[in-house]
Amino acid sequence: MSIILAEPPQAMTSTNSSPDELALHMPPIEERMGPGRFPGVWNPFRSLFWLFHLTFGTACLIMVLAILAAIPGLNILTLGYLIDPQKRVAESGRLRDGFPLMVLAPRLGCIVFFSLLLLTPIRFQAVRVSDAAVILGAHHPRVVQMQTTLQVMQWIIAIHLLLAIFRGGTVGCFLRPFKNIIWFLRKSLTRRGRSEISAGTEQVLQLVKPLQHFWIGLKSFIGAVLWLLIPTSLLVVYSAPGRTEPIFGLLSFLGGILMIPVMAWLPQLQVHQAVTGRFTSIFSIRAARQVVRNAPWSWVIASVLLYAMTLPLYLAKIKLLPADALLVLTPFFIVLIYPARIMVAWAYHRGMNTSKAAKWPYRWASALMMLPLLAGYATFLFATPLISELGKAAPLENQAFLGPVPYAQWARK
């Protein structure tokens, strides 16, 4: 993640200021990196640019999360970035608190755009070198000269990109390379400059928190696996080759029955674990039942949305695409599952902050409505091994609970 710095106010700090003191005087990171206020309808051109800037940045942010989701191990980090916004919404009850990384979106979009633009000459030169090597030979003097030119271009553009991103990643940073060099020398050669760099780095790390988000995702992943292990294992018993005896059908039926309460409670329990910070909170059935009891229709809306959003993701398991094409699916996972998880957190907030239970007709009506829906979803999970190339592994990759699946790692049958 880039280090986004800004010039602190002139009236602040002596040269001996510590990073903590500098951080107190630096403007909030939302003011320095965020999209800023909407210009208003009376400034149509600025408003359109603001909207384009924010939209492109959001798309880049989704792509970054999707790339992490497609890498085994780092997909846990993406799960953490999905659960932390749930924690924020569950604590405040405000849906707008579910998008903390949007502060990074506009700046990230600018960085991605100029990085692609500046890397274009390198790509063209690399193609020329490759073609020349085929025609003239790799050791031809002309090819060697072109290869040297390519290496020089790579170093110059790499240094410029690093300095521009390090300085702030704004449009001006990418268009003024010499000012970036002067800025870097001034910051790195003085004690105050190094303190400002440390303070800016600390602010960015406080926003991104990669280790904390990885730990949040890992706890949620392990807790969900423990909940799903027995019912899912039973559910796929009958679909395994050669297991056609009635006993295996009975075991699969039992797995489907066990999946119903798991699907009813587990989304809320993942939020509860994130809010409390304790791993064992994911087994606190009382908290999930409190949400269902106190806010039954909020629970219904959130649950229906969550499972409905995961259904399209199972379609990609029917016929597996090439590994590189599977990576294209991960952004759709982020787009589909993110709002559903935010709604789950909203339902959790309503249930945990309501002092008394809803009236019994509402509770019974919601339960009678959800029971066949959850049973139908469990039946769908039972049927996925029969229609998927993944076989009995298909229900194990449960996007509703386990988060991003590294699609490129799917094994072929």
| Nearest partner of 121 among 145, 149, 95, 84, judged by Cα | 149
Q: Which one-letter DSSP state was computed for residue 41?
A: T
Taking only the tens place, the pLDDT of each residue in 68-111 is: 777 777 888 888 988 999 999 999 888 878 887 777 777 777 78
Q: Among 266, 200, 278, which Cα is nearest to 4's?
A: 200
Which pLDDT band holds residue 114 (cuts at 50, 70, 90)?
A: confident
Residue 35, classed as helix, strand or coil, is coil
Does residue 223 carry a pLDDT above 70? Answer: yes
Q: How confident is the model at residue 348 (pLDDT cuts 50, 70, 90)?
A: very high
> CA separation (Å) from 378 to 55, 79, 381, 382, 391?
37, 23, 5, 6, 16
Which 8-state DSSP code applies to residue 411? Answer: P
**The tokens 């219904």 sit on which residue?**
300
Cβ atoms 64, 75 nearer than 8 A: no
> At residue 411, does pLDDT exceed 60?
no
Residue 395: predicted pLDDT? 72
Q: Is 209 left (phi over 0), alpha (psi -120 to 50) or beta?
A: left
pTM for the whole structure: 0.75
Q: Which pair of structure tokens corresponds to residue 255? A: 């797995």
**Mean pLDDT, to the nearest integer, of 402-413?**
56
Q: What is the per-residue pLDDT for 350?
A: 93
pLDDT of residue 103: 72
Q: Cα angle vertex 347, ends 342, 349, to 5°?
A: 95
Q: What does the pLDDT look like over 272-289, one tens digit per residue?
A: 999 999 999 999 999 999
pLDDT value for 27: 56
